[in-house]
Amino acid sequence: PRLNEITLAFYLDRLGGIGFMPEVMSTYRLNEASVWTGASAVERHKQAIAIRQSALRIARPIYRAAIQKRLDEKQEQLKSELAKNAAAARADDPRNQQPAKTERS
């Protein structure tokens, strides 16, 4: 599993207090080959689930209910995306196409 800012924050919270700075401190470069930007919607949902599962293992008990809630939401989003992809695949399948109607002369 890759390290990310979510799991890192929960790890650092175990070592001492953490805070929030409302200023932009860094930026992400969007790259089509990156693990996030270059991933499909399904893969992004799977990554988000894995990240929250890692955070759930690392976080102190006080945070676990909130993390579990977000994890459940991400799992529902994945199910929805998979259903959408399956419906699109069925619609594109030539075996499911209706024969073209012809006009009678």
- Say which residue the tokens 């619609």 belong to: 91
Q: Is residue 85 part of a domain?
A: yes
Residue 23 located in a structural domain: no
Let me know if residue 98 belongs to a domain: no
Count up the domains in the chain and report the number. 1
Q: Does the pLDDT value for residue 93 go beyond 80? A: no
Residue type (1 letter), 38: G
Domain coverage including residue 81: 1-14+34-89
Q: Judge whether 71 lies within some domain.
A: yes
Domain presence at residue 39: yes
The model scores a pTM over 0.85: no
Is 24 a domain residue?
Answer: no
The answer to whether residue 105 sits within a structural domain is no
Cα(23)–Cα(69) distance, rounded to whole angstroms?
Answer: 27
**Per residue in 40-75, pLDDT tens?**
999 999 999 999 999 999 999 999 999 999 999 999
Among 15-24, 59-68, 86-95, whose mean pLDDT is lowest?
86-95
Residue 12: the pLDDT is 93
- Alpha-carbon distance of 100 to 56, in angstroms, equals 53
Which is higher by pLDDT, 97 or 80? 80
